[in-house]
């Protein structure tokens, strides 16, 4: 049985490029506000959903949620990408800039229509390659459970879970650079 953390990791963690973020999460790395994380999650979710559906298709029933309602679900989330892009781009560049300033500068100077397909394809491929076949049924169930929520609520929920799960061990940096709210 896949835990909720693994499920949301598959849905959000991959979308947020866990490997790159973990490398970027150093003492000098900038943190992301919850709003930036929510925008990044909201922007990436369509690519995550697409990658998940592609990666899981051979392992799921032909009459399951992804096969029968997956495209509709994906389209609802994709409809909000443009709204999420400005803040998501800022977060993406902030994360990338903490690792490679030259690359971040180059990406910042490219037009959005050149950067967006790159980000989307990278996220979709990462997701489809990371999901294990035995996780597909649980992920499909989790997506079905989340499906009544508006896309913006799903992005906020994923951000909430990431914030709650971000409990670094003493002496170790957080695995995800989310800014701590002011007291």
How far CA 141 is from CA of 58, 111, 137, in Å, comes to 16, 37, 6
Interhelix angle 112-130/81-99, rounded to 10 degrees, is 80
Q: Would you say residue 5 has pLDDT above 70? A: no
pLDDT classification of 78: cutoffs 50, 70, 90:
very high
pLDDT for 180 equals 78
User: If you search the block for the tokens 């500068």, which residue do you land on?
Assistant: 105
Q: Are 62 and 113 in contact (CB under 8 A)?
A: no
Higher pLDDT: 24 or 79? It is 79
User: How would residue 18 be classed by pLDDT, with cut points 50, 70 and 90?
Assistant: very low
Whether 17 shows a pLDDT value over 90: the answer reads: no
- The SS3 call for residue 32 is strand
Across the range 81-110, mean pLDDT stands at: 82
Structure-model confidence comparison of residues 33 and 18, the more confident one: 33
Looking at residue 68, its pLDDT comes to: 97
pLDDT of residue 175: 60
Q: What is the pLDDT of residue 61?
A: 95
**Predicted local confidence at residue 174, as pLDDT:** 64
Task: Please provide the average confidence, as pLDDT, over all residues in the chain.
Answer: 80
- For the chain, the domains span 4-164
């Amino acid at each position: 049985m896949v835990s909720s953390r693994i499920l949301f990791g598959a849905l959000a963690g991959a979308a947020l490029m866990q490997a790159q973020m973990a490398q970027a999460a150093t003492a000098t790395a900038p943190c992301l506000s919850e709003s930036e994380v929510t925008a990044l999650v909201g922007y990436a979710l369509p690519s995550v959903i697409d990658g998940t559906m592609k990666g899981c298709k051979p392992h799921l029933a032909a009459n399951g949620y992804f096969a029968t309602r997956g495209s509709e679900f994906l389209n609802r989330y994709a409809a909000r990408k443009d709204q999420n892009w400005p803040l998501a781009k800022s977060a993406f560049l902030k994360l990338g800039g903490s690792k490679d300033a030259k690359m971040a500068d180059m990406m910042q100077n490219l037009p959005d229509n050149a950067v967006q397909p790159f980000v989307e394809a990278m996220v979709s491929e990462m997701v489809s390659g990371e999901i294990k076949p035995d996780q597909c049924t649980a992920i499909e169930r989790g997506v079905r459970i989340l499906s009544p929520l508006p896309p913006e609520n799903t992005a906020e929920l994923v951000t909430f879970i990431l914030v709650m799960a971000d409990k670094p061990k003493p002496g170790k940096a957080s695995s995800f650079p989310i800014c701590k709210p002011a007291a």
